[in-house]
Amino acid sequence: ATMPPLLSAIANAGRHGVLVKSAVVMERLGQVDAVALDKTGTLTEGTPRVTDVRPLAGAGPDEDGLPAGAGPDEDGLLALAASAEHPSEHPLARAVVDAARARGLDLAPAADFASTPGVGVTATVAGRTVAVGAPAHRLGTARPLGTADPAAGRATPPTIGSAADPATDPTTAPARATAAPAPAADLTSTHGTPARPIDPVRSLGTADPTVPPADARTATPVTARAAAVAAELERSGRTAVLVEVDGVPVGVLGIADRLRPDAAATVTALTALTGTAPVLLTGDNPRAAARLAAEVGITDVRAGLLPQDKVAAVREQEGAGRKVLVVGDGVNDAPALAAAHTGVAMGRAGSDLALETADAVIVRDELATVPAVVALSRRARSLVV
Ligand code: ADP
Ligand code: MG
């Protein structure tokens, strides 16, 4: 017997490096008439690198309200961030850990690790609460943490640094001014790197009682400076990542990722196939998102999205009668992949959750195979009687 067209199409997709999970999926791929693309790891290669390490405290009391030398220096900042990020599988976390290793820095062990998709991570490093993540969510330049989002008519989920978190609650947080000196940490390297020893916590120095308590969501000189550094990095297309210790910003990292070589061609091909340009759905900041979108020819950009915001964006289009193809790679994309008419995951660097949730997986790591399988599906469907 000759193979049914949809099964041949699955085999053909496999030769293109795309794992289509069923004949039903193979058929649905050809029905899509709108596309939503994730940014980091989907339009970009997903191997970001740390390009900027900017401690906030080096400038002294006049500029940022912190005593000179009170915060970590470059290496201390990077080691601290990497210690907290070490357990994370997020591409940004890998970039931070790799950068620390490249400088030969030792990491401190992290306890109480927690990650919030689309926001960042927290961990206890040598007794201090270290938070690493999106400046907008931590500095309150996005909607305030733990407050109702009037646009969506629901409360935002608990996130790192929420008011219920005693480590960052302004009413209970041990501010820098009153924080106990850092306890002697077990700074055994978790990587066995024969590195020059660095103590990311001791480099914070001892607290100065004359410094007023700082809180991440009130405008203090140091939070204003953190926001300014983050904005500067974002304007140059970087992802800015804020590092806080016990709720106080201590530095900002700039991270950059390369556009995939086939990103622009893929956007063009998908536009031709569906009659509409894809939309960009990203948890990253609007400045970096807009810059990258312009390079590939996308005009509809939704940035600063949490996982459920990506779902809402998909539902909005499906409510308008569209059949939406979502392409993503992260844990943060999984709910949108599930909500989509058809979900496709990037396989090489994609998270396990995204790969399991998606209807199809791009195994060979070529974004251009997405329009190719849509076209394959349409051809197969035209042969099905
Ligand atoms: P995208 O939607 O572009 O794939 P994500 O939703 O994964 O991006 O992440 C959105 C933002 O959340 C990042 O740009 C970063 O600011 C922050 N973030 C998420 N996870 C981490 C992490 N492990 N370390 C630092 N920042 C993080
Ligand atoms: Mg992603």
Q: What is the 3-state secondary structure of 166-191?
A: CCCCCCCCCCCCCCCCCCCCCCCCCC
| Residue 90 near ligand 1, beta carbon < 6 Å | yes
ipTM of the complex: 0.95
Model confidence at 334: pLDDT above 50: yes
> Which of 38, 165, 333, 359 is flagged as catalytic?
38
| Minimum CA distance residue for ligand 1 atom 21 | 120
Length of the chain counted residue by residue: 385
Q: What share of the chain is helix, strand, coil (3-state, %, to 5)?
A: 35, 20, 45
Mean pLDDT is lowest, of 46-50, 164-168, 336-340, for 164-168
Mark whether 75 is an active-site residue.
Answer: no
Element (H, E) at 256: strand 248-256
Region 231-239: mean pLDDT is 92
Model confidence at 129: pLDDT above 90: yes
Alpha carbons 103 and 75: distance in angstroms, whole number: 8
pLDDT digits (tens, 9 = 90+) for 366-385: 999 999 999 999 999 888 76
Q: Do domains 5-46+258-383 and 49-256 have the same CATH topology?
A: no
Ligand 1 pocket test, pick from 137, 229, 332 with the greatest ligand atom count within 8 Å of Cβ, gives: 332
Region 10-39: mean pLDDT is 97
pLDDT digits (tens, 9 = 90+) for 162-210: 333 333 333 333 333 333 333 333 323 333 333 333 444 444 443 333 3
Q: How many CB atoms lie within 10 A of CB 23?
A: 16
- Residue 26 confidence class, pLDDT cut points 50, 70, 90: very high
pLDDT of residue 97: 98
- Residue 62 confidence class, pLDDT cut points 50, 70, 90: very low
Helix-then-strand count for the chain, H and E: 13, 15
**Domain 5-46+258-383 in CATH 3.30.1490.100:** no
| Nearest ligand 1 atom, CA 285 | 14
pLDDT of residue 60: 45
**Cα–ligand 2 centroid distance for 247 (angstroms):** 26
**Cα–ligand 1 centroid distance for 283 (angstroms):** 6
| Residue 304 near ligand 1, beta carbon < 6 Å | no
| Minimum CA distance residue for ligand 1 atom 4 | 40
pLDDT of residue 304: 93
Radius of gyration of the chain (CA): 23
| Residue 287 near ligand 1, beta carbon < 6 Å | no
Ligand closest in space to the Cα of 253? 1
**What mean pLDDT is reported for the chain?**
81
Closest by CA to 244, choosing from 370, 84, 32, 45, is: 84
Q: What percent of the chain has pLDDT over 70?
A: 75
- Boundaries of every domain in the chain: 5-46+258-383, 49-256
Go through 236-254 and write b for each residue having 16 or more CB atoms within 10 A of its CB, e for each that does not: ebbbbbbbbbbbbbbbbbb
| Nearest ligand 1 atom, CA 289 | 3
- The CATH fold assigned to 49-256 is Calcium-transporting ATPase, cytoplasmic domain N (3.40.1110)
pLDDT digits (tens, 9 = 90+) for 248-286: 999 999 999 999 999 999 999 999 999 999 999 999 999
| Minimum CA distance residue for ligand 1 atom 25 | 133
| Residue 283 near ligand 1, beta carbon < 6 Å | yes
Model confidence at 96: pLDDT above 70: yes
Helix 369-383 crosses helix 5-15 at what angle (to 10 degrees)?
Answer: 160
